[in-house]
């Protein structure tokens, strides 16, 4: 379970994506800003199209713009949106409801629902190795990282 009461950017957004259940505050924001520094977003690139939809994944990955918790719920990135001061309470309450069920039933349910993700882990690993190394060796990646650290706009060259 994920409970988001603030910003879930980059890897944080990816953790929410692969969580079984996610609850967010009304003010939570989700974004994948990696493209702005020339980086690749591995988990969301592979699983996002299946879990939030092809077009929504493309928009989040390419625009890098934050989305609201309500938009995240529309996409299926989060299950519920609650007032800011109720995120912990709502998460604990839902966890309690889940915990009264039979552990074996929950395990089998989780395995069944997550079949797609598990079945594609080897493809994910291969893609990660290839694209991570390919991305981090580009001039654009180096420029993006330098520009970020120097707090200036990047000057990308497409290589």
The pTM of this model reads 0.83
Catalytic residue among 26, 27, 34, 143: 34
Q: Torsions phi, psi of 53, nearest 5? A: 105, 145
- Give residue-wise pLDDT tens across range 90-148: 999 999 999 999 999 999 988 888 887 777 777 777 877 777 777 778 888 888 888 88
**What are the sequence ranges of the domains in the chain?**
2-149
- Cα angle, residue 95 at apex, residues 94 and 98 outer, rounded to 5°: 90
Catalytic residue among 14, 27, 93, 134: 14
**74: annotated active-site residue:** no
**139: annotated active-site residue:** no
Which fold is adopted by the domain 2-149?
A: 2-enoyl-CoA Hydratase; Chain A, domain 1 (3.90.226)
How far apart are alpha carbons 116 and 43 in whole angstroms?
14
- Give residue-wise pLDDT tens across range 34-66: 988 888 888 898 889 989 999 999 999 999 999
């Amino acid at each position: 379970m994920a409970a988001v009461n603030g910003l879930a950017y980059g890897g944080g957004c990816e953790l929410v994506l692969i969580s079984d259940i996610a609850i967010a505050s009304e003010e939570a924001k989700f974004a994948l800003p990696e493209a702005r520094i020339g980086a690749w977003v591995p988990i969301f690139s592979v699983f996002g199209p299946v879990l939030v939809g092809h077009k929504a994944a493309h928009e989040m990955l390419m625009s890098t713009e934050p989305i609201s918790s309500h938009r995240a719920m529309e996409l299926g990135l989060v299950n519920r949106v609650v007032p800011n001061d109720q995120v912990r309470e709502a998460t604990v309450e839902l966890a309690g409801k889940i915990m009264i069920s039979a552990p074996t039933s929950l395990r089998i349910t989780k395995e069944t629902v997550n079949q797609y993700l598990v079945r594609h882990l080897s493809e994910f690993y291969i893609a990660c190795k290839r694209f991570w190394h390919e991305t981090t060796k580009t001039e654009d990646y180096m420029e993006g990282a330098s520009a970020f650290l120097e707090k200036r706009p990047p000057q990308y060259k497409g290589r």
